[in-house]
Amino acid sequence: MTASTVQANALDDARVQLAEAVAVLGYPEGLHRILGAARRETTVSVPLVRDNGDVEVFTGYRVQHSIARGPAKGGIRYSSEVNLDEVRALAMWMTWKCALLDIPYGGAKGGVDVDPRTLSPAELERLTRTYTQGISPVIGPDNDIPAPDVGTDEQTMAWMMDAYSATRGRGVPGVVTGKPLDLGGSLGRRTSTSRGVAHISLLALAKEGIAPSSATAVVQGYGKVGADAADYLAEAGVRIISVSDRFGAVHNTDGLDLSRLRAHSEERGTVAAFGGGLPIDPAAVLELDVDLLVPAAVEGVVNADNASRVCARIIVEGANGPTTAEADKILERSGVLVVPDILANAGGVVVSYFEWVQAQQGYWWTLSDVERGLDDRMTAAWSSVLDQAATTGSTLRRAAMALAVGRVARAHRARGLTH
């Protein structure tokens, strides 16, 4: 499956999930169209003068799917696979994620079609500032708040905040989240998505009657989310037997030494050739016989081609859209418990919300305050989804989507945007 096919499927999958929720909720076609349409789509040219004087022109995007429940919120992705359809899908999923966690945001997403590994730090800064200038008319602390995503980090957010602030003539720390602590970032933000994934994973294991000390797990995508999620799970007693990244994978049935693995990955830039386990085909990691599978990389990795070979009892979606609609049906027939992305990986947007609140108030919380608030929000959302699934006899994804879409629809109706 090619990258373009995965991206196209991501938007198709997002639309299928919405259509199923609309059918469950009994909404009319007009409301369905409103819920499925992005409020604003912005495409900008991003010229970059390379260090050698050459000029390249990249394309940047910012899609605001909804502002019915509050300002738009969503990450910025730097990847050569970014395109408008991918950003549309990710923005829509952000809308449902924020609604499900009862955060007063709508959904947005952005990105630039560039491989950040090919740029020097100076080039990345120039690219980020130019992109920020291009989208500055549509972002801001009261209307659209970006955050880090694939290929971006807290340094990217610092450059974005500075570039946006320059256009306003004052410091505007609330324009982005995921910033460095010295610029108004929040304690606990860097690992918040990972912590949320691990927290939900442990709740899912408990639901299935599996003790962490006897559980085995695989993390597909040992990166920004997957590495810390693996550490959190291991701290709880889960045995991580295999991890993968885009360059390779490693397997050890006795459990990987995660401290050594992290050191190796940071030094080499990959888990490949790690001496604490055997090399394995990265695709095979998804099919290992484990209690828990955490796909934490990109969209569409569990699909119609491999879903029937997935042996995990539980899938907790650390990435956005890692399971296609076709795979969902196969996994449901196989009895695999799939915890959807809009619940499982919502920890990042929860703590982004906390960071935004702190910036608006000019008052910063302790790490224990942040982590306690994150755990409480994730547990409450998990309980709501479980109750909805039990009441309706549906999968966790359908239950989560029905709850989220229902909240957004009620906001539209309350604002008088539909009947």
Coil/strand/helix, residue 83: coil
Contacts for 27 with CB less than 8 Å, ≥ 6 apart: 35, 409
Task: Say which amino acid occupies 58.
Answer: F
**Do 212 and 236 contact (CB within 8 A), yes or no?**
yes
Long-range contacts of 114-120 (CB under 8 A, 24+ apart): 114/46, 114/58, 114/78, 114/79, 114/80, 114/82, 115/78, 115/79, 115/80, 115/151, 116/78, 116/79, 116/151, 116/152, 119/48, 120/51
How far is 377 from 351, CA to CA, in rounded Å? 10
| Burial class of residue 343, CB neighbours in 10 A (0-12, 13-18, 19+) | buried
**Do 314 and 339 contact (CB within 8 A), yes or no?**
yes
Concerning whether 109 is annotated as a catalytic residue, the answer is yes
How far is 236 from 188, CA to CA, in rounded Å? 18
How far is 401 from 385, CA to CA, in rounded Å? 9
Complete edge-to-edge strand list for the sheet that includes strand 72-78: 40-49, 55-64, 106-112, 72-78, 144-148
How far is 80 from 82, CA to CA, in rounded Å? 6
Contacts for 130 with CB less than 8 Å, ≥ 6 apart: 46, 47, 48
Q: Which residue has the tokens 């549309």?
A: 88
Which parts of 113-214 are beta strand (E)? 144-148
Q: Choosing from 97, 109, 179, 224, which is the catalytic residue? A: 109
Q: Which two tokens stand for residue 416?
A: 């008088």
CA atoms within 13 A on the CB side of 293: 29
Considering only CA atoms, which of 297, 213, 219, 225 is closest in space to residue 251? 219
Q: Which two tokens stand for residue 382?
A: 């998990």
**Do 350 and 377 contact (CB within 8 A), yes or no?**
yes
**Catalytically annotated residues:** 109
